Each structure stands twice: as structure tokens, then as C-alpha cells.
């Protein structure tokens, strides 16, 4: 993929209908002071024009998905391992990596964050591949920082696997990942389906890599990154044997000692099964689940199993990696971990509709057409735990039919219901399929997770291998809220599953009044999702849960009228709701307050003024801060379209709610969602229409 970056931070894709963008992203010209509504109308008009100008001719929107330099470093390491690294790619990647280095020599994993050891080691190695020398000032600062923070021995397992591929770390000092794991049935206490889908797609190919233990000749040594070159591979102490961590650590050492005792026939069969599993999950465009990291490890695994670089599977996989690259006007190259067109398109359609764009506007109809074409209609890994459930719904990416997700599905339904499509029956059919699938994916405790149902085993996270990020997919407040909101707009607020979801949300409100945000940062995201959902489901603005949330939002508003929350809130309670104001997080707070009936409150007035004041002259907002979440704390995301769609949604709801909650009502027919009677039973087509939403008991 080739892209440039516009002033709002998003890509102007080939074929996109982009408007003229000023060379410098300046704040909007000062206007004569007016009422908050006047300022909101001006900002809304500019924002609508900006967002319409960014729609692709095919109907979709997509902003850059920026993570951290490990994506770029590992892309170069993969190309080095396969022998396909070229000068142009290397130079462009190195330029981006250098630009991201902190003054102290380290690299962070989010804007303004602290240096992170593994990211710094990987970035340093990538620059060495590009020809930067240890004595160069920026490299000396980096290696000194690494030594002061534990050296290579202190990095995470994933980093040391990359080092082992080139002989910089011994395979014997890495956790064992036996490929025979592929044979464990889904009912076994620890099997591949106990991992979240993102981890599962990575673990299976890494079992092949672990079994093969390849080593390519290293182009240089890394002595300068060890705290003690005389003892570069110190062993980490074991946890007490009476703990689960201690048990799995000792089990891992036993596996490593006895790895040669595995029968060769069993090992061959396991490697063959792993290869089939990987190939079966390759998407039509060559990627794996639309995610870059599983694609990288899958390519290495298949290559080790004898697939040459001209094999159609590898050729398609390598071509897919190029589509994760964003080439910038300054000649640098950033690699996206994933791409978010379905999510971005749904959010953009909601924003434009809520801002007053006519429901039959060509841009909305084109978006709906594209979304309908992206519906997932075949079973995926989710069917392991829901074999009786018919497929439906949407994934996040351009190509991903294996892992649709509940969050995208709920948001797409909300978007489709805002569009007056010329083929309403087509929309109704897609919503009916997606709605049934969503209901059937509810977890046993009443919440909804992102990709799987009841993916909550405690064992995967205990493995010595799993020292980075979330590896399971438990229910979260933000996803559950989006589902509840969707059900309410479909006339199903009193569906038994919706009521169980509401009860789950009430039970998971934090003592301060906020909700934890799993997929966005953090309590502002969770609260901004839950309050509109509760109100859509019939809660009055005076309900105690809603009032607690309103009080909390008021307590964390910044002096400039905006809201912000740093990624550190995932680790430190004191950061909850605290951070520099951002456009997206200000919008999330406003969405909650508007839903709660606070349109004329000082907090909302100041928040709207902040959005109007910080808008740039092209109708966009700037936001270098990372407000998205992959893994809480471990993997942060800057969705470049968030800064455009959420402020517009908040402004639109502010203008459309002169005296009450701003969330518009849905237009869906309740019969589109058929009942699912039991988590362990097939879908039952009830055909009955749910009663109109009523107020939830105020207790």
C-alpha cells in the first residue's frame, strides 16, 4: 500500500476523494464570539466537509493505525531472515525509527510514554541493519539506555525469539512451545482455543519455529547491549513451586530437557497439522486475520517447513505485508499492525448521520453498500465454542473472514440503521444474521467479549512464553455497552440477553463511577460507551449509576475544557481520567454527558468550546496521543481517524439535543433479531416482537 498522510494524520489512499488540505494544520481562524451552539455548528460544518473529502471512492474510510517501532523493526528482521531485505525499504523504515527515538536514547510504545526495553532493543537492531554504527551518537545513547535497564536479558520472550533467529540468544534459554499443542482437544484445560484469536494465530506458527530452532548468520554482534558480556544469558529465578507460575516454569524446564524424547513421527505429524492449520486460515488477500504479527510468524513457520518464496501461499503472504506499509511524504515508511476500514467506516457513517447528513446522502449509501459487501458469512474459530450458531457479522479489516468481532458488528448495525438504503430488505437480512450471531456470542456471565465467547481460561497467561500483552478475550464494558446500545436501537432493550448485559455493566462500574475501557484508553472510553448504552436501553438520566458517571466526568475535566487520559492509567490508579486533553477523549466524555441529559451543563459547554477552539482550519483535529488500546499498557494504538469521527459525533448530538439526551433513535425492526434461548442450545426463531423499552428500575 502506498499512502501519504494528510493534515489530520490519515492516509490519502489511491483513488480517494480528498479535498484540498492546507500545508500547515493551523487552528481554525478566529470567529466572532457566538453561542456554544453557533460554535458547534461552524465546527460541525467544517468537520463534515473534511470527513466527506476523505471517503474512498468505494465507500470506505480508513485512518492510519499507528502503534510502535517494533512493527517496523520486526518487518526488517523478517526480510533479513528470508533474504529479501532491500535498500529502499530499509532506508525508509530506518528514517521512521530514528524519528521516533526519545532524547534519552530509548523508544516508547506510545506518544509521551516512558522508554520500553524490548522496543528499544528491536529498534536498535533495525538501525544496525540499516548501517547505523554503535559509535553514532544516537546509537550510543540507545545502547547505554538498554544496559542501564537490564540489557538484552531483560527483554520479553518475543524479542529474544527474534534474537535467537540470528544467534544473538540461545534457543535453549527460551520457553518451549511444542507443536503437539495443536492436537489437544478444545475441552482440554490448555489448548490453542484457550488463547485469544490474536494470540492463537501467533502461537501456532511459533510452535513450528520453536521446534525447528533455526539460526541465520548474524550480520554483526550485539555485545554492547549486554549488561555483562561475560554472562550474557543469565537465568531468571523461578517462582515458588507452590504457585501456578512456579508450576509452569518447572514444567517448561522439563519440556526443554526432554524435547529430544518426543517421537519423530509424532513431531512430524504435529508440524504437518500446524502447517495445515496456518494455511487454512490464510485470507484471500494473503494475510492472516488482517493482522501483521501473525502474518510475519506464519511466513517464517511455513518457510521452515519447506515452502519456498515462490510458493503461492508465501508469495501472497509477502504481498499482503506490503499493504501494511504507509509510505509518507518525507520518505519514511511506517508499518501498521492492522488496518481498520470496517470499524472506521461504521464510525464515520454514524458521525455523519448524527451530524445531520441526510440518511439517503450518496456518501452514506456508498458506505452502507461497502459494509454490506464485507459481511462475514462463513464459520470461523469462534464456532469451536458455538458450533450451533449460524455465522454473521463483520470483522475489523479489509480481509478477515475467520475472526469477525462483536464490537465491529454492533457498530456496523448502528451505522446501517442510520442509512436510508435503496434496498432495505438487504439491510434487514444482514442485520438479522448479525444480530442472531451477536446474541449467540454472549458469554456465560452476561457480558460480551471481542472475538470469542467464554475465552477466559487462567492458564494461557501463566505460561512462561506469555510475558507480553493479553492472551485471552474476556468480556469488557466497552464491547458489552456497544452490544446493549445496538439491541436497544433494534427494539430489544428488554430481550433477556440485553438485560443480562445491562446487569453485567452495572456490576462492573468502578467505585469512582467510571467503567474500565478494554479497547480504548481507558476509563473515558469505557464510560463514554456505557452511559449512552444505558440511556438507550431506558435508563433515566437520574439513575444512580448514570449520576455517578456524570460526577466522575466532571471531576476529571481539564482546565482547558477538554478531557484526556494517559496510557499509564492501565497501571496506576492515579492516572485514571488524567492526561492532556485530546479530541477523541473529549468527545467520549461529551457523549456520556449528552446522553445523561447534561447538554446545558457547564461541563458540556466547556467541552464543546474546547472542540471548536482546537479544530484546525481544514475541519480536522490534531492528536498525537494514543487513545486506542490493543493490549492494556503493553500495546497502544493511535487510530488516526478517532480524532475526526468522535468529535463530529459529539458535536452532532449536542446540536440535535436541545433539551435532552442527544443519541438518535434507531430505525430497526425488532423482528430482525431472533431469540437465542440458551448459550448451549441452537438458535430458536421466536418471531415475537419485543415490547417497547421501559425505564430500568432506578435502584
CA separation for the pair 257, 599 (Å, rounded): 65
Q: Which of 407, 452, 566, 675 is catalytic?
A: 407
Query: Residue 259 burial by CB count (10 A; 0-12/13-18/19+): exposed, middle or buried?
Result: middle
**H-run or E-run covering 635:** strand 635-639
Residue 223 in grid coordinates:
555485545
Here the cell at position 220 is 554483526
Query: Hey, how many other C-beta atoms are within 10 angstroms of the C-beta on 656?
Result: 17
The dihedral built from the CA positions of residue 94, 98, 101 and 105, taken in this order, carries a sign that is positive
Residue closest to 62 by CA, chosen among 10, 138, 128, 121:
10
Query: Which candidate, 644, 549, 642, 641, places its Cα nearest to that of 594?
Result: 549
How many angstroms separate the CA atoms of 15 and 8, rounded? 18
Q: Is 407 a catalytic residue?
A: yes
Bridge pairing between strands 635-639 and 65-66: antiparallel
Locate 192 and state its grid cell. Answer: 490453542
8 Å CB contact between 434 and 486: no
Judge whether 588 and 646 are in contact, CB under 8 Å.
yes
**What does the DSSP assignment read for 404-454?**
-BHHHHHHHHHHHTTS--S-HHHHHHHHHHHHHHHHHT--TTS---SS-SS
| DSSP calls for 237-262 | PPPPTTSHHHHHHHHHHHHHHTGGGS
Residue 436 and residue 673 in contact, taking contact as beta carbons nearer than 8 Å? yes
- Annotated catalytic residues are 407
Amino acid at each position: 500500500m502506498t499512502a501519504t498522510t494528510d493534515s489530520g494524520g490519515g492516509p490519502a489512499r489511491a483513488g480517494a476523494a480528498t479535498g484540498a488540505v492546507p500545508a500547515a494544520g493551523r487552528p481554525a481562524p478566529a470567529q466572532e464570539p457566538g453561542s456554544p451552539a453557533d460554535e458547534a455548528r461552524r465546527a460541525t460544518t467544517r468537520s463534515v466537509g473534511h470527513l466527506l473529502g476523505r471517503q474512498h471512492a468505494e465507500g470506505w474510510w480508513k485512518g492510519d493505525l499507528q502503534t510502535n517501532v517494533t512493527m517496523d523493526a520486526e518487518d526488517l528482521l523478517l526480510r533479513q531472515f528470508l533474504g529479501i531485505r532491500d535498500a529502499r525499504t530499509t532506508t525508509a523504515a530506518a528514517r521512521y525509527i530514528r524519528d521516533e527515538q526519545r532524547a534519552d536514547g530509548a523508544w516508547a510504545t506510545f506518544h509521551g510514554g516512558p522508554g520500553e526495553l524490548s522496543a528499544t532493543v528491536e529498534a536498535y537492531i533495525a538501525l544496525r541493519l540499516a548501517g547505523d554504527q554503535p559509535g553514532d551518537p544516537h546509537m550510543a545513547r540507545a545502547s547505554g539506555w538498554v544496559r542501564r535497564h537490564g540489557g538484552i536479558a531483560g527483554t520479553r520472550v518475543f524479542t529474544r525469539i527474534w534474537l535467537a533467529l540470528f544467534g544473538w540468544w540461545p534457543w535453549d534459554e527460551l520457553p518451549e512451545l511444542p507443536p503437539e499443542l495443536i492436537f489437544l482437544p478444545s475441552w482440554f484445560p490448555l489448548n490453542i482455543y484457550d488463547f485469544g484469536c490474536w494470540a492463537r494465530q501467533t502461537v501456532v506458527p511459533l510452535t513450528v519455529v520453536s521446534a525447528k530452532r533455526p539460526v541465520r548468520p548474524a550480520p554483526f554482534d550485539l555485545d554492547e547491549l549486554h549488561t555483562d558480556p561475560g554472562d550474557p544469558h543469565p537465568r531468571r529465578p523461578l517462582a515458588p513451586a507452590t504457585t501456578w507460575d512456579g508450576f509452569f516454569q518447572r514444567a517448561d524446564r522439563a519440556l526443554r530437557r526432554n524435547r529430544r524424547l518426543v517421537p519423530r513421527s509424532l513431531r512430524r505429524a504435529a508440524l504437518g497439522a500446524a502447517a495445515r492449520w496456518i494455511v487454512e486460515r490464510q485470507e484471500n488477500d494473503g494475510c492472516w486475520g488482517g493482522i501483521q504479527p501473525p502474518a510475519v510468524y506464519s511466513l517464517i513457520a511455513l518457510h521452515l517447513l519447506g515452502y519456498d518464496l515462490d510458493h503461492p501461499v508465501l508469495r501472497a503472504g509477502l504481498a499482503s505485508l506490503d499493504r501494511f506499509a504507509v509510505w509518507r511524504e518525507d520518505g519514511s515508511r511506517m508499518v501498521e499492525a492492522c488496518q481498520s476500514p470496517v470499524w472506521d467506516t461504521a464510525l464515520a457513517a454514524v458521525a455523519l448521520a448524527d451530524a445531520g447528513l441526510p440518511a439517503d446522502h450518496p456518501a452514506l449509501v456508498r458506505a452502507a453498500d461497502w459494509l454490506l459487501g464485507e459481511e462475514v458469512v462463513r464459520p470461523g474459530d469462534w464456532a469451536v465454542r458455538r458450533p450451533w450458531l449460524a455465522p454473521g457479522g463483520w470483522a475489523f479489516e479489509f480481509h478477515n473472514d475467520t475472526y469477525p468481532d462483536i464490537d465491529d458488528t454492533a457498530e456496523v448495525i448502528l451505522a446501517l440503521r442510520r442509512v436510508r438504503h435503496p434496498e432495505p430488505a438487504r439491510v434487514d437480512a444482514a442485520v438479522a444474521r448479525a444480530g442472531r450471531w451477536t446474541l449467540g456470542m454472549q458469554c456465560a456471565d452476561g457480558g460480551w467479549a471481542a472475538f470469542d465467547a467464554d475465552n477466559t481460561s487462567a492458564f494461557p497467561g501463566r505460561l512462561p512464553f506469555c510475558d507480553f500483552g493479553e492472551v485471552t478475550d474476556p468480556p469488557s464494558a466497552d464491547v458489552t455497552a456497544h452490544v446493549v446500545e445496538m439491541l436497544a436501537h433494534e427494539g430489544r432493550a428488554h430481550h433477556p440477553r440485553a438485560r443480562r448485559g445491562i446487569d453485567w455493566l452495572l456490576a462492573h462500574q468502578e467505585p469512582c463511577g467510571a467503567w474500565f475501557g478494554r479497547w480504548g484508553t481507558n476509563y473515558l472510553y469505557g464510560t463514554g460507551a456505557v452511559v449512552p448504552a444505558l440511556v438507550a436501553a431506558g435508563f433515566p438520566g437520574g439513575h444512580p449509576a448514570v449520576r455517578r458517571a456524570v460526577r466522575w466526568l466532571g471531576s476529571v475535566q481539564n482546565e482547558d475544557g477538554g478531557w484526556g487520559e494517559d496510557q499509564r492509567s492501565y497501571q496506576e490508579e492515579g492516572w485514571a481520567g488524567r492526561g492532556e486533553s485530546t479530541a477523541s477523549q473529549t468527545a467520549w466524555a461529551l457523549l456520556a454527558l449528552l446522553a445523561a441529559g447534561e447538554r446545558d451543563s457547564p461541563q458540556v459547554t466547556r467541552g464543546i468550546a474546547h472542540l471548536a477552539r482546537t479544530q484546525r482550519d481544514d475541519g480536522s483535529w490534531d492528536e498525537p496521543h494514543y487513545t486506542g488500546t490493543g493490549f492494556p499498557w503493553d500495546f497502544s494504538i493511535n487510530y488516526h481517524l478517532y480524532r475526526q469521527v468522535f468529535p463530529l459525533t459529539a458535536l452532532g448530538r449536542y446540536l440535535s439535543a436541545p433539551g435532552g439526551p442527544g443519541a438518535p433513535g434507531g430505525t430497526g425492526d425488532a423482528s430482525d433479531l431472533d431469540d437465542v434461548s440458551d448459550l448451549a442450545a441452537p438458535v430458536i426463531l421466536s418471531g415475537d416482537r419485543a415490547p417497547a423499552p421501559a425505564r430500568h428500575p432506578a435502584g
